[in-house]
Amino acid sequence: MHDKKVYIETYGCQMNVNDSEVMLSILKDAGYVRTEDITDADVILANTCSIRDNAEQRIWGRIEQFRIQKKKRDVIVGITGCMAERLKEKLLDCHAVDIVAGPDSYRSLPDMLEAVTPDNPQVNVLLSHEETYSDITPLRMDKNGVSAYISIMRGCNNVCSYCVVPYTRGAERSRDPRTIIREAEDVFSHGYREVCLLGQNVDSYFWESPDSADDNVDFAQLLEAVAKISPELRVRFSTSHPKDISDEVIYTMAMYDNICNHIHLPVQSGSNAMLEKMRRKYTREWYLERVAKIRSAIPECGITTDVIAGFCGETEQDHQDTLSLMEKVGFDSAFMFQYSERPGTLAARKYPDDVPEEVKTRRLNEIIALQNRLSLESNRREIGKTRRILIEGVSKKNEGELFGRAGNNKVCVFPAGGHKIGEYVNVKVLSCTSATLISELV
C-alpha cells in the first residue's frame, strides 16, 4: 500500500486557491499526499469557478480530459467549489465525475473518498451558516514561501444582480479573529513576509464576540491587529466594496507602514442607471467621493478595479460614463469582463441580456484600450521614485533578475545583486511598460 496521491487544479479567485489549500490540509490529515503529476494521481480534484460562462466551459473541457485518464486507469474525479455548488447532481450526468463537493463540505472529503465507488458517486453540496474552516491550517501551495492567503470570512450577503457567488458560496460569515491572528503569526514564523486577507467583501467583516460586545471586532480592528504582529509582515486585503469601505479602514491603512497602500475597489460601471440595476448600492458620485477620501488620507495609494461591459440594457451613454469614470479615477490596473448571464441570478430573471455580443466585445475592447493607457500613465508616474519591494521570485525573462511588488501592488524587476526571495529591498524605478517597472537597487 502506498499513500494515496491527490492532484488538484484550481480555478477562479484567490479564495478558491485558499480553499484548495484547506482541502489539501484535510486530505493530508487523512493520509493523502499531494502530487503535481496528474498521470500519477489516485484522486483528481478540480476546484472550480462559476463566475462567467467561459469559466465553466473551460472546466467542462478539463472534465473531458479527466475522462481520458479514467479510461486508462482507476482514478477518482472530484469536482469541488462553485461549479459543484451550482450544478450539484447534474455534474454526475456526464459520467466522468465521482464526487461533487460544494465549498462548505470539504471536511467530508475523506469520508466521501472512502465511500465512493463507480456505482456510488458522492454528492455533498450543503451550505453552512457557520463553517469557516477556522481550525484548519491550510497546506500552502505557493512556490515562494513569501506571501500567504488567509480567508477571514466566507460567503456573501450582497445581491449584486449579475453575480452567482451568493448562490455558490452561501451566506456571509466572519471567522474568529483569534484564529486569523494565530494563522498570520504562524506563517510569519515560517518565513512568510506577506499575508493577504481574503473575503468577497472584507469591509463587512464583523466578529460578534460570544462573551461581550466590547470584544466585537470589525475589519479596521482586525487589520490593525494583523499589522501589529510585526513591522516586517506586510498586510494586503481583497476585496473592498465601495459601499462599505469605511474611513476607519482608510485611516488604519494610513497609520501602519506595513499595511500596503493598495485597494482593490471594483466599480463595475460608471453609470448610475447600471449601478442601480446591478444592485451595487452606491452611485458614481459616492464612488468618486470614496476615491477622493482614500487619496486625501493616502496620497500614493494604488487603486485597482473590476469593470463589466455590456450589462443588461447598457446604452452607449452608460458605456461612455464607465470610460469617463475610469479616466477620472485613473485606475492603476483593472480586471475587465464582458457581462455573462448566470442562471438563477436576479439579472437573469428580471432583465434581458440584450446588448448584442459584438457590441459587448467592442465596448470591452474600448475599456481595455483605455485601461492600457491609464496603466502606462500610472507606471510612468513611478519613474524616478524609490520603492520598498518584497522579493517574490526570479524574473521569467532573465535569471539574473528578481521581481517583487511595491506596496502599491506594482511589479518591479531589477538585477539580483545577491539578494534573495523573501527579502525587502529598496529599488529606484528607471523605466516601465504598462505592466512592469524596470528598476535598480539603491
16 binds, among ligand SF4, ligand F3S, ligand SAH, none (CB under 5 to 8 A by kind): ligand F3S
Least Å from the CB of residue 268 to ligand SAH: 6
**All three cell numbers of 430:** 528607471
Considering only 76, 84, 96, 160, the residue that binds ligand SF4 (CB under 6 A) is 160
Considering only 24, 49, 52, 389, the residue that binds ligand SAH (CB under 6 A) is 52
81 binds, among ligand F3S, ligand SAH, ligand SF4, none (CB under 5 to 8 A by kind): ligand F3S
Q: Is residue 64 exposed (0-12), middle (13-18) or buried (19+ Cβ within 10 Å)?
A: exposed
Q: Say how many residues touch ligand SAH, by CB under 6 A.
A: 17
- Whichever of 80 and 261 has its CB closer to ligand F3S, that residue is 80
Judged by CB under 6 A, the chain residues 336 through 395 that form the site for ligand SAH are 337, 339-340, 342
Interface with ligand SAH, residue 154, by CB under 6 A? no
- Whichever of 13 and 100 has its CB closer to ligand F3S, that residue is 13
Judged by CB under 6 A, the chain residues 347 through 386 that form the site for ligand SF4 are none
Query: Quick one: which segment of 157-165, 358-366, 370-378, 423-431 binds ligand SAH (CB under 6 A)?
Result: 157-165
Interface with ligand SF4, residue 50, by CB under 6 A? no
Q: Name the strands in the sheet holding 234-238, side by side, starting at the edge strand that comes first in the sequence.
A: 147-151, 194-198, 234-238
How far apart, in Å, do the first and last CA atoms of the chain sit? 55
- Whichever of 147 and 269 has its CB closer to ligand SAH, that residue is 269
The pairing of beta strand 333-338 with beta strand 173-174: unpaired
Interface with ligand SAH, residue 12, by CB under 6 A? no
166 binds, among ligand SF4, ligand SAH, ligand F3S, none (CB under 5 to 8 A by kind): ligand SF4
Binding footprint of ligand F3S on the chain (CB under 6 A) = 12-13, 15-16, 49-51, 81-82, 164-165, 168-169
Interface with ligand SAH, residue 304, by CB under 6 A? no
Least Å from the CB of residue 3 to ligand SAH: 36
- Whichever of 12 and 302 has its CB closer to ligand F3S, that residue is 12
Considering only 101, 148, 156, 217, the residue that binds ligand SF4 (CB under 6 A) is 156
Query: Quick one: which segment of 155-163, 206-214, 285-293, 372-380 binds ligand SF4 (CB under 6 A)?
Result: 155-163
**All three cell numbers of 358:** 459584438
Considering only 45, 63, 163, 303, the residue that binds ligand SF4 (CB under 6 A) is 163
Contacts with ligand SF4 by CB under 6 A lie at 156, 158, 160, 163, 165-166, 200-201, 241
Contacts with ligand SAH by CB under 6 A lie at 51-52, 162-163, 165, 200-201, 239, 241, 266, 268, 306, 308, 337, 339-340, 342
